[in-house]
Amino acid sequence: MAPFDIATHWGTWAENLSYLGFGFAFGFILERAGFGSSRKLVAQFYLRDMTVLKVMFTAIVVALVLNFWASGLQWLDFSRVFVNPTFLGSGILGGLLLGMGFIIGGFCPGTALVGAGTLKLDGMYFLGGVLLGSFIFGETAPLYWAFLEQSGSLGRFTLADWLHLEPGVVVLLVVLLALAMFIAAEKLEAWAQARAAGSNAPGVQQ
């Protein structure tokens, strides 16, 4: 039953090869989805192109459904799957900072790597910023470690724990939410594009 301990069964090399394979596939798909372009990525914040939301949310719900079907059929022991512990305070602050960085810089760390991989200068600069920021964070972390470690620490905390619902029901709710967001995203895109076209029409004051 999954998850499999690849290193124990097949050795560290096999484990490293699996990282390489999944990393390559992930990067390849991100690049093919157009996530190496900061213009495309940032367009979502201006509602002109919601590809990022659609691709990411599709990946999330597909993985969610497959994981919990595998768990439901006892092919996967979900209790042994590592779930990032929840730290509400630092999570919210970090999310805000990441969002600001995403809007200003045009990338998030993963897509910056994709952009740098296709030799885009803005991706490389952003990656440099990520490395510098990581270094500064690492050097100054002890100053605010108590906040990071203790602000809203909930341990392994999932939506099912929060809502007190069966995981299958939570999956259904998330899928419904995703579908609603896809429909809303399409409408927002059409509205934003029509607005942009109207403002660019001859005779319209800028």
Residue 57: CB atoms within 10 Å? 19
What three-state secondary structure class fits 143? helix
Cα(126)–Cα(16) distance, integer angstroms = 27
Per DSSP, the three-state class of 87 is: strand
Residue pointed to by tokens 């005779």: 203
Query: Smallest gap, in angstroms, from Cβ of residue 130 to another protein?
Result: 10
80 contacts another protein (rule: CB under 8 A)? yes
Integer CA distances (angstroms), 32 to 37, 40, 117, 194, in order: 10, 12, 12, 27
CA 70 from chain centre, in angstroms, equals 22
152 near another protein (CB under 8 A): no
Least Å distance between CB 204 and another protein? 30
Contact flag: residue 148 with another protein (CB under 8 A): no
The amino acid at residue 15 is E
Q: How far is the CB of 167 from another protein (least distance, A)?
A: 5
Asked if the peptide bond before residue 3 counts as cis, ω within 30 degrees of 0, the response is yes
Least Å distance between CB 57 and another protein?
A: 11
110 is an interface residue for another protein by CB under 8 A: yes
Q: How many CB atoms lie within 10 A of CB 2?
A: 14
Tell me which stretch binds another protein (CB under 8 A): 120-128, 135-143, 164-172, 195-203.
164-172
Q: How many residues bind another protein (CB under 8 A)?
A: 43
x-or-dash string of contact with another protein, 36-75, rule CB under 8 A: --------------------x-xx-xx--x--xx-xx-x-
Report, in Å, the least distance between residue 183 CB and another protein: 8
Residue entry with tokens 């439901």:
72
Q: Which residues bind another protein (CB under 8 A)?
A: 1, 5, 26, 30, 35, 56, 58-59, 61-62, 65, 68-69, 71-72, 74, 77-80, 82, 84, 98, 108-111, 155-156, 166-169, 171-172, 174-176, 178-179, 182-183, 186
